[in-house]
Amino acid sequence: MAKKFRAQKSVDFTIEENGGVFGHLRIRPNAILWKPKNGQRYYSVKSEEFAKLAESAKVTTLQ
C-alpha cells in the first residue's frame, strides 16, 4: 500500500493580548470554535453562519 499524508482535522491558534492569553481559536472545515482564557469548553458557530456574519455590513473590513 502506498504511503500518504493525512490532512489535519483542525488548526488551533492562541490569541495573546498584553503579554497574556486572551483566548483560543480552532478552525475546522465545518465550524469556527472559540474558548476564552481559562475556559473549560469551546463555543462554536458553523462555517456558513460565520461567513454570513463576516460578509454582513456590521463587520468592518481589515486592510
Q: What are the C-alpha distances in Å from 49 to residues 11, 14, 22, 43? A: 19, 22, 23, 13
Q: The whole model's pTM is what?
A: 0.73
pLDDT (0 to 100) of residue 54:
80
pLDDT (0 to 100) of residue 41:
95
pLDDT (0 to 100) of residue 62:
63
pLDDT (0 to 100) of residue 8:
86
pLDDT (0 to 100) of residue 61:
63
Rounded to a whole number of angstroms, the CA Rg of the chain reads: 15
Ramachandran angles phi, psi of 34, nearest 5°? -130, 135
DSSP string, the chain: ----PPPPS-EEEEEEETTEEEEEEEE-SSEEEEEETT-SS-EEEEHHHHHHHHHSTTSPPP-
Q: Running along the chain, 63 residues long, what does each successive block of 10 average in pLDDT?
A: 86 95 94 94 94 75 62
